[in-house]
Structure 1
Amino acid sequence: MSSTHHGFSDDFDVIVIGGGPAGATTAALLAQRGHRVLVLDRERFPRYHVGESLIPGFMLPMEELGLTERMEARGFERKYGGTLVWGNNEIPWSFNFSTGGRIPYSYHTRRADLDTMILDRARELGAYVVEEATVKETIEEDGRVVGVRYALRGLNGIQEARASLVIDASGQARVIGRKYSEVNWHDQLQNVAVWTYFDNCHRLPGDEWSNILIEGIKDGWFWGIPIDKGVFSVGYVTRSATASASDKALEDLFVSEVEQTTKLKEILKDAHQTSGYRTARDWSYTNERFYGNGWVLVGDAAAFVDPLFSTGVALATMAGSTLSKIVDKILQHPEIEEKALDRYAAAYRDFFGDIRYFVEQFYDRSKTKGFYWSMAQEITDPDKENADEVDFVKLISGLSGKHRLFNLEFDDLIADTGAPSDD
Structure 2
Amino acid sequence: MISTHDEFDVVVIGGGPGGSSTAGLLAKRNHRVLVLEREKFPRYHIGESLITGSMPTLDELGLRSRLDQMGFVKKYGGTLLWGKNQGTWDFRFAEAANYEHTYQVRRADFDAVLLARARELGATVLEEATVKHFLFEGERIAGVTYTVKGDPEPRTARCRLLVDASGQQHVLARHFDLVEYHEDLRNIAVWSYFQGCKRYGGTRAGDTVTENRPNGWFWFIPLHDGTVSVGYVTPIEEYKKSGKSLEELFTSELAAAEEVRALTEGATRAAAFRSIRDWSYTCSRFHGPGWALVGDAAAFIDPLLSTGVGLALRGSRGLAGAVDAALRDPSCEEQVLARYEKEYRAFLNSLLAFVRFFYDRTRHKEEYWEKAQELLDPRRLRPRKIDFATMLSGVSGVHDIFHTD
TM-score by length of 2: 0.97
Match of 2:123 in 1: 127
Partner of 1:391: 387
Letter aligned with residue 298 of structure 1:
V
Please give the alpha-carbon distance, in whole angstroms, between the structure 2 residues aligned to 1:143 and 1:282.
Answer: 31
Provide the C-alpha distance between the structure 2 equivalents of 1:285 and 1:329, rounded to a whole number of angstroms: 28
Q: Provide closer, same or farther for how the CA distance between residues 170 and 90 of structure 1 changes in structure 2, counting only shifts above 3 A.
A: farther
Equivalent position to 1:226, from 219, 222, 226 = 222
* Worse overlay, 392-401 or 356-365: 392-401
Confirm or deny: 8 A CA contact 1:79 1:106 kept in the other structure: yes
Percent of matched pairs sharing the same residue? 47
From 318, 332, 340, the equivalent of 1:322 is 318
Distance across 2 between alignment mates of 1:229 and 1:10: 42
1:399 alignment partner, SS class: coil
Contact 1:372 1:392 in 2 (8 A): yes
Residue 176 (str. 1) matches residue 175 (str. 2): no
- Provide Cα deviations, 1:58-85, integer angstroms capped at 9, x if missing partner: 1110010010011101111001111111
User: Is the partner of 2:48 in helix, strand or coil?
Assistant: coil
Letter in 2 for 1:37: V
1:143 alignment partner in structure 2: 139
Q: Distance in 1 between matches of 2:357 and 2:398?
A: 22
Q: How does 1:15-414 map to 2 (within 5 A)?
A: 15-89=11-85, 91-228=87-224, 230-400=226-396, 403-409=399-405
CA-to-partner distance for each residue in 1:135-191, whole Å, 9 max, x for gaps?
111111222110011111122121110100000000000111111242111122111
Q: Is the 8 A contact 1:181 1:289 kept in 2?
A: no
Partner of 2:117: helix, strand, or coil?
A: helix
8 Å CA contact 1:17–1:170 kept in 2: the answer is yes
Q: What is the alpha-carbon distance in structure 1 between the residues aligned to residue 139 and residue 241 of structure 2? A: 46
Aligned partners of 2:177 and 2:401: how far apart in 1?
A: 21
Task: Describe the SS at the equivalent of 1:228.
Answer: coil
- Deviation of residue 91 (structure 1)? 2.2
Q: Which amino acid aligns with 2:100?
A: P
Hey, what's the Cα distance between the residues in 2 that align with 1:128 and 1:230?
A: 35
Q: Which has the larger radius of gyration?
A: 1
Inter-partner Cα distance in structure 2 for 1:97 and 1:213: 14
For the 8 Å contact 1:51–1:310, the answer to whether it is kept is yes
Q: Distance in 2 between matches of 1:405 and 1:70?
A: 27
Distance 2:206 2:402 in 1: 29
- The separation in 1 between residues aligned to 2:204 and 2:120, in whole angstroms, is 37
Q: How many Å apart are 1:229 and its aligned residue?
A: 5.1
**In the aligned structure 2, how far is the partner of 1:401 from the partner of 1:252?**
39
Runs of 4+ displaced beyond 3 Å:
none
Question: 1: CA distance between counterparts of 2:29 and 2:206?
Answer: 37
What amino acid maps onto 1:241 in structure 2?
E
Does the 8 A contact of 1:202 with 1:230 survive in 2?
no
CA RMSD in angstroms, aligned pairs only: 1.4
Counterpart contact for 1:391–1:400, Cα < 8 Å = no
TM-score for both structures, normalised by structure 1: 0.93
Per-residue deviation at 1:205?
A: 4.4
- Paired letter, 1:129: V
Residue by residue over 1:364-421, the C-alpha shift from the partner in whole angstroms, topping out at 9 and shown as x without a partner, is 0011110001100111111111111111101110112662333235xxxxxxxxxxxx
The reply to whether residue 13 of structure 1 matches residue 2 of structure 2 is no
Preserved CA contact (<8 Å) 2:340 2:402: no
The letter for the 1-side match of 2:350 is D
| Ranges in structure 2 where 5+ consecutive residues have no aligned partner | none
Pick closer, same or farther for the CA change 1:42–1:402 going to 2, 3 Å: same
Residue 420 of structure 1 is matched in structure 2 by none
CA distance in 2, matches of 1:399, 1:324: 18
Shift in Å at residue 207 of structure 1? 4.4
Unpaired segments ≥5 residues, structure 1 = 410-423
Matched pairs, number: 405
Give the Cα–Cα distance (whole angstroms) in 2 for the partners of residues 306 and 163 of structure 1: 33
1:90/1:365 contact within 8 Å kept: no
| Counterpart-to-counterpart distance in 2, 1:11 and 1:408 | 26
Shift of 1:339: 2.2
